[in-house]
Amino acid sequence: MDLERRLKQIKEFFAQNGHKLDPKTGQMIKELCSLCEELYAQASIDFLTGLYNRRFFEKELEINVEKAKRDRSVFSLILIDLDHFKKVNDQYGHLVGDEVLKKVAEIIKKNVRKIDVPARYGGEEFAIILPATGSEGALAVARRLKHNINEILFGPKDNPFHLTASMGVATYRPLSGLSAEEFLKKVDKLLYQAKEAGRNCIITDQEEFVLQREQEGITYEEREALKGVWQYDD
Amino acid sequence: MMISITSGKGGVGKTSLAVNLALALSPEYKVLLVDADLGLANVDIMLSIAPKVTVKHVLLEGRSIREAVVEGGYGFHVLPAASGVVELVQPDSDMKGALELGLNELASSYDLLLFDTGAGISPAVLWFNCLAGYTIVVFTPEPTSITDAYALIKVLYRDYGQKNFLLVANQASQKEGEQYFLHLKKVIDSYLGANPIFLGAIPKDPALAQSIRSQKPLLAYHRETKAAKAILEIAEKIKSFIPVTRKNSLLSNS
């Protein structure tokens, strides 16, 4: 449920019908409403999906950037956007749309570790911070998520549909000196490129060969070449 | 100016080299030898000193870093580490922050901070190595040691931005060491693009092993042995990497 929207509806209803109540009860309900608003403002959870909300995500992103700079460590960020989500809302209605978001959130929750920070970043946009994870690890998570989202059937049983997702994946490297905001912009750009490239794909900040290098410590070729060091003839 | 002494594989003679280099450089430069194997100290044993305050008291009990600095006994100073303190093996980001601050402060009053790191590619080792402007990688002429040295250089170069590698071959003759270096450099050049520099080789020398058992640096009493001469030559080469502003020299102070 979209809590913010619902709160607004209740307040509007109360503004119109509040005078029918006795003053004491009216005052209590008013207080209850503002307490709810305050709690909502302090919340770190997105009420519809149970993921972290955008505010919490942005704070975490800044903490992770600071930590990476200090520890000279890396972390990765995945941005996910559901393709043609607007069509779902238009064709099936908002309730089905909300169900889709919940299901995708479930998939995300199932596929991340406890230390990761999965968040609902916007309407149909999700973000995952993967601490202490390089590009290869992040890409593996993104691929798994994409596959699982593609697999699942959404919507009513008699008229189900498939969905795809576009993703931007990047690894934060302290040597880049980027701020949290700049890094987020960079990954957002990758997500945009994924959309531009025809959706249903993952775009990373890495050339393929870089990925390969990270995946392996020493390659087979290097190992063979090193043999020359101790097998030389003079 | 900070230089780290490191190796992929353990037991290749890092601490022995560190102690002797500190001694060789200290008449001319003000040197602080940092025992960078924070949880498993070795420098104090090599020098037969028993420090009361160590980096443990600095990082876990909030003592100032200058309180921990002691005389090494041979003209240079030592920042000792702790023996068998698990919390220090992988310092967390708060400890690293405090340590970096402290080391930078110390660096302003020394010509050279020499880090004697642990072996391997643990986060703590990598951290010290990228704090340093130059990394001395020690290896011995064995497949495991050479492979691990290469792996360490690869990680440091590729992921941690260390570009300046100085190589030392231990337990090898000069000619042998040079051959090993040239072959290793070929692999490094073609697969990584880093440009390592050869500092020299230290030949096997019973006097070196004897000096370790007697807990005295070789250069403190045997300057004429093969290994001692080799280490002195390596020290000469290192001088060219130390900036010439010797305002902190012990000589000019005394």
Q: Shortest CB distance from B97 goes to which of A70, A229, A232?
A: A70
User: Where along chain B do its domains lie?
Assistant: 2-249
Write out the H or E segment, with its range, that includes residue A98: helix A94-111
Q: Which of B77, B64, B11 minimizes the C-alpha distance to B40?
A: B11
- For B2-249, CATH number? 3.40.50.300
Q: Which of B130, B89, B10 minimizes the C-alpha distance to A74?
A: B130
Q: Report the C-alpha gap between A66 and A76 in whole angstroms.
A: 14
Does pLDDT of B100 surpass 80?
A: yes
Least confident range of A163-172, B84-93, B107-116: B84-93
Q: Report the C-alpha gap between B205 and B22 in whole angstroms.
A: 20
Give residue B69's identity as a one-letter amino acid code.
V
What is the separation of C-alpha A68 from the centre of its chain, rounded to a whole number of angstroms?
19
> Per CB distance under 8 Å, which residues of A are interface residues toward B?
67, 70-74, 175, 213-214, 217-219, 221-223, 225-230, 232, 234
Specify the residue for token string 């202490």: A132
The pLDDT-based confidence of A208 (bands split at 50, 70, 90) is very low
Q: pLDDT above 90 covers what percent of chain A?
A: 47
Q: Shortest CB distance from A234 goes to which of B159, B160, B179?
A: B179
Token representation of residue B70 = 């002691």
The residue from A38, A58, A124, A221 that is catalytic is A124
Residue of B nearest to A68 (CA): B93
Q: Is A216 considered catalytic here?
A: no
The pLDDT-based confidence of B142 (bands split at 50, 70, 90) is very high
Q: Shortest CB distance from B146 goes to which of A70, A74, A226?
A: A226
Token representation of residue B140 = 């011995």
Q: What pLDDT is recorded for position A216? A: 55
Q: What pLDDT is recorded for position B246? A: 54
Give residue A1's identity as a one-letter amino acid code.
M
Q: Is B15 annotated as a binding residue?
A: yes
Q: Facing residues of A172 across strands?
A: A75
Does pLDDT of A76 surpass 60?
A: yes
Does pLDDT of B218 surpass 90?
A: yes
The pLDDT-based confidence of A224 (bands split at 50, 70, 90) is confident
Please list every residue in chain A whose beta carbon sits closer than 8 Å to the beta carbon of residue B142.
230
Helices (H), A112-179: 135-151
Q: ipTM higher than 0.90?
A: no
Q: Report the C-alpha gap between A200 and A186 in whole angstroms.
A: 19
Q: What pLDDT is recorded for position A175? A: 73
pLDDT tens for each residue of A101-110: 999 999 999 9
Q: What pLDDT is recorded for position A132? A: 87
Please list every residue in chain A whose beta carbon sits closer than 8 Å to the beta carbon of residue B126.
72
The pLDDT-based confidence of A215 (bands split at 50, 70, 90) is very low
Residue A200: phi and psi, rounded to 5, are 55, 40
- Pairing, β A75-82 against β A125-131: antiparallel
Does pLDDT of A213 surpass 50?
A: no
Does pLDDT of A221 surpass 90?
A: no
Please list every residue in chain B whose beta carbon sits closer than 8 Å to the beta carbon of residue A175.
161
Mean pLDDT along residues B208-217: 94
Does pLDDT of A27 surpass 80?
A: yes
Q: Which of B100, B104, B105, B113 minimizes the C-alpha distance to B1?
A: B113
- Pairing, β B112-119 against β B197-202: unpaired
Entry pTM: 0.60
Token representation of residue A123 = 């309407």
Contact call for A226 and B151, based on CB within 8 A: no
Q: Is B102 annotated as a binding residue?
A: no
Yes or no: domain A54-215 corresponds to CATH 1.10.10.60: no
Does pLDDT of B1 surpass 50?
A: yes
Mean pLDDT along residues B104-132: 93
Give residue B239's identity as a one-letter amino acid code.
K
User: Where along chain A do its domains lie?
Assistant: 3-42, 54-215
Which 3 state secondary structure label does DSSP give B105? helix
Which 3 state secondary structure label does DSSP give A217? coil
Q: What pLDDT is recorded for position A115? A: 93
Give the Cβ contact number of residue B181 at 10 Å.
23
Mean pLDDT along residues B77-84: 94
pLDDT tens for each residue of B9-54: 999 999 999 999 999 999 999 999 999 999 999 999 999 999 999 9
Burial status of residue B139 (CB atoms within 10 A of its CB: 0-12, 13-18, 19 or more): buried
Give helix B123-131 / helix B93-107 axis angle, nearest 10°.
30
Q: Facing residues of B139 across strands?
A: B169
Q: 3-state SS string over B185-222?
A: HHHHHHHCCCCCEEEEEECCCHHHHHHHHCCCCHHHCC
The pLDDT-based confidence of B245 (bands split at 50, 70, 90) is low
Q: Is B9 annotated as a binding residue?
A: yes
Q: Is B177 annotated as a binding residue?
A: no
